[in-house]
């Protein structure tokens, strides 16, 4: 075969994924949230790790999250293909084969769990293994397609990282770690239901039984309000533990007041009004929910800095 024919053969070759396509399988945006919350959980813990151990711990927690993302993309390729928001993901876009996503997810799961164990302790590694299992199997394979409570229960998977970060440092779970978990767990439903309110057609087309599809938008608005109210004691409770202080409590009061007002406004609206302003309130609530979680965890870090300066803490 001449060099020319070899070249022509290459031209006819189907798409080969690049390194970036594999990175996309790991859901880098979700990973950034995992890195941040796990880092906060690790830093506010009363035991301090060596910087190299801390770096390794965060890296392997993030890798575990990425692995579960790849497994989710493998399993949900059919759903992703029909939803506008996810149609450009590597598997439905035809850039990476489903089997490759499965292989990458399984391999990275094993690597991240074993390495987290070696870098920190077995409890943290076991929690990471459970998180991956929960997201890939319990949420993606079971809950997502079968119940409108998919977001509520499945939210646990995204809530584990700060608890794992804490356990990496201390070796055990405490009330602070549990409240950081609960903060994300209770925050997830209103966050995703607000998204579902203005992305309803996507979920409907894909046949995902989101609350908006199964119970309608009016019920979804009521659920957002109820879960936002349930979130308040969790957020305030975290602020009065050893990781909180007056500053954290003040931030929690302001953020939760604003969040409840937003949820109340969503609850009072009907579809005609929402359609008229193109879901402006729902979109604003969704955007604020991202800020809400970021600022809550940032407040824990600020409180830690204040404490080390002799100013913060209870």
Is the distance from CB of 128 to CB of 116 less than 8 angstroms? yes
The residue from 28, 30, 53, 130 that contacts other proteins (CB under 8 A) is: 53
The residue from 116, 119, 125, 184 that contacts other proteins (CB under 8 A) is: 119
Task: Tell me: does residue 5 bind other proteins (CB under 8 A).
Answer: no
The residue from 18, 46, 99, 233 that contacts other proteins (CB under 8 A) is: 18
**In whole angstroms, how close is the CB of 18 to other proteins at the nearest point?**
4
Give CA–CA dist 180/40, Å, rounded: 10
The residue from 1, 2, 5, 10 that contacts other proteins (CB under 8 A) is: 10
**In whole angstroms, how close is the CB of 104 to other proteins at the nearest point?**
11
Task: Tell me: does residue 56 bind other proteins (CB under 8 A).
Answer: yes
CB of 56 or CB of 252, closer to other proteins: 56
With contacts defined by CB under 8 A, name the span among 9-17, 37-45, 143-151, 170-178 that binds other proteins. Answer: 9-17
**In whole angstroms, how close is the CB of 1 to other proteins at the nearest point?**
15
**In whole angstroms, how close is the CB of 17 to other proteins at the nearest point?**
7
**In whole angstroms, how close is the CB of 118 to other proteins at the nearest point?**
7
With contacts defined by CB under 8 A, name the span among 10-18, 121-129, 146-154, 203-211 that binds other proteins. Answer: 10-18
CB of 59 or CB of 102, closer to other proteins: 59
Task: Tell me: does residue 1 bind other proteins (CB under 8 A).
Answer: no
- Residue numbers at the binding site for other proteins (CB under 8 A): 7, 10-11, 13, 16-20, 22, 50, 52-53, 55-56, 59, 118-119
């Amino acid at each position: 075969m001449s060099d020319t024919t070899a070249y022509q053969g290459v031209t006819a070759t189907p798409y080969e994924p690049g390194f970036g396509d594999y990175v996309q399988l790991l859901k880098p945006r979700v990973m950034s949230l995992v890195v941040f919350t796990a880092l906060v959980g690790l830093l506010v813990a009363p035991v301090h790790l060596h910087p190299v151990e801390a770096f390794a711990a965060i890296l392997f927690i993030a890798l575990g999250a990425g692995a579960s993302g790849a497994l989710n993309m493998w399993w949900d390729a059919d759903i992703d293909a029909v939803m506008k928001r996810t149609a450009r993901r590597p598997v439905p876009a035809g850039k990476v084969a489903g089997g490759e996503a499965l292989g990458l997810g399984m391999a990275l799961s094993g690597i991240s769990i074993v390495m987290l164990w070696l870098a920190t302790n077995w409890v943290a590694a076991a929690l990471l293994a459970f998180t991956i299992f929960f997201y890939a199997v319990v949420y993606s394979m079971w809950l997502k397609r079968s119940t409108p409570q998919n977001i509520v229960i499945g939210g646990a998977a995204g809530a584990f990282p700060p608890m794992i970060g804490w356990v990496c440092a201390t070796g055990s779970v405490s009330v602070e770690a549990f409240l950081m978990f609960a903060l994300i767990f209770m925050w997830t439903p209103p966050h995703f239901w607000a998204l579902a309110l203005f992305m309803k057609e996507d979920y409907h087309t894909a046949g995902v039984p989101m609350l908006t599809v199964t119970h309608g938008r009016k019920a979804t608005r009521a659920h957002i309000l109820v879960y936002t109210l349930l979130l308040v004691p969790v957020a305030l409770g975290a602020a009065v533990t050893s990781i909180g202080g007056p500053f954290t409590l003040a931030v929690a009061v302001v953020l939760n007041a604003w969040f409840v007002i937003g949820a109340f406004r969503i609850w009072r609206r009907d579809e005609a009004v929402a359609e008229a302003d193109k879901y402006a309130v729902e979109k604003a609530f969704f955007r604020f929910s991202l800020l809400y979680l970021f600022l809550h965890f940032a407040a824990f870090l600020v409180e830690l800095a204040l404490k080390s300066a002799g100013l913060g803490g209870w």
